Amino acid sequence: MQFNLETSDDDDRIIYLTGNFNKWNPKDENFKLKKVENFKYNLILNDADLPENIEYKFTKGGWENVEIDIYDNIQPNRKVKKSEKKTEDFVEKWRINWGPFKKEFFPIAEVVSEKFYIPQLEKYRKIWALLPHDYYTSEKKYPVLYLQDAQNLFNEGAEFGNWEIDKKLALLAEYHRGDLIVIAIEHGKEERIKEYIFDNDSVIKNAEGKKYIRFITDTLKPFVDEKYRTKKDRENTGIGGSSLGALISIYSGFLYPEVYSKLMLFSPSLWVEPQNNFPMLNFKHAFKMKIYLYGGEEEGSKMVNRIKAFSQYLEKGELDKVFDFETKININPEGKHQEFFWSQEFPRAVEWLYYDSLEDPTKKIKNKND
């Protein structure tokens, strides 16, 4: 079977073929197209490796760089029968780092409170809610994700950049993956470390992490569930963050597994707990928990090793009676300890944590257009 492709641009990025024959892997080295001349590429595959009814797309190394049409719309799955022996396709445009993003899908950013009182800490904190774009025109209830460090999640003036979760949620909504409420809690600035450390005097004295976790779980979540149309059960509640924000999220999930079933952990500061000595309560039955772990090889020599060690720790037999872990690890060889890389990972993590494991992230779009 020969796949022939012509493109409207001719940059240096490698073009890959992905489809129902390679588990929709967008960067499979066995499915790289060969450049035959400017703007033209092809790939010849063994018929024995292909199903009779082939569905496929072209990417430039990831779903963040998948093909789109000239109007920036999603390109439905291409289809061909193996018996046809050859395809002739044309790609108008490509996504670039998940963009472009359509304004009509942007979430509604609301300030829950400029000064939300934290009784456990006797402090006040600004809290944001990012609601699905159609929240006020629908009657649906939504799962919730609680994220730390709101200052760095979607505000353009953030000192170190931001995750651009508003843009990424718009993209997810375009792909019918945007039915999610994000509650973003601003960090305490100079109090951030104290609030994100659970109990470790070698890092900081009088850590307040235990009280901070109780605030989110016992005070903020009930308020959010009362104010917004949420799915309140643990199966639809997650928590996460990056760096120390990821660390305190681990504690949250392990101490309150009856509340949280999903952990989004980007570049977690596991150096605070090198032996993975997280407190776990003895529950009578196993709680199923999905844990998404991301790290970059450029974050330092120990980051990736600690993430892998933590994942192995979760799989140890002695935890089976307490938790039923499902983990996914993604390591970026070029990843640094920066918001830009966490931003790139956010859509993948949301999809894996909150939606069925779909190998083709445009599957629902494909069905819609059949």
Give the H or E element holding residue 369.
helix 363-369
pLDDT at 286: 75
Contact by Cβ (8 Å): 95, 65: yes
Buried b or exposed e, range 159-169, using 16+ CB within 10 angstroms: eeebbbbbbbb
pLDDT at 102: 95
pLDDT at 9: 86
Burial class (CB in 10 A: 0-12, 13-18, 19+), 28: middle
pLDDT at 316: 74
Quick: pLDDT tens for 253-290.
999 999 999 999 999 999 998 888 887 765 556 789 99
Q: Which residues in the chain come in under a pLDDT of 50?
A: 358-359, 364-370
Beta strands per DSSP E along the chain: 2-7, 16-19, 34-37, 40-44, 53-59, 67-68, 78-81, 86-91, 93-94, 108-118, 123-131, 144-147, 181-185, 237-242, 262-266, 287-296, 323-332
Domains of the chain in sequence order: 2-94 (2.60.40), 103-366 (3.40.50.1820)
Residues 350, 364: Cα–Cα separation, whole Å: 16
pLDDT at 161: 78
pLDDT at 41: 97
Residues 57, 55: Cα–Cα separation, whole Å: 7
This prediction's pTM: 0.91
User: Is residue 46 left, alpha or beta, with left meaning phi > 0 and alpha meaning psi from -120 to 50?
Assistant: beta
Residues 96, 86: Cα–Cα separation, whole Å: 28
Distance between the two ends of the chain, CA-based, in angstroms? 24
Please choose, from the candidates 154, 38, 14, 201, the residue with its C-alpha nearest in 3D space to the C-alpha of residue 94: 14
Cis peptide before 222 (omega within 30 of 0): no
pLDDT at 369: 37
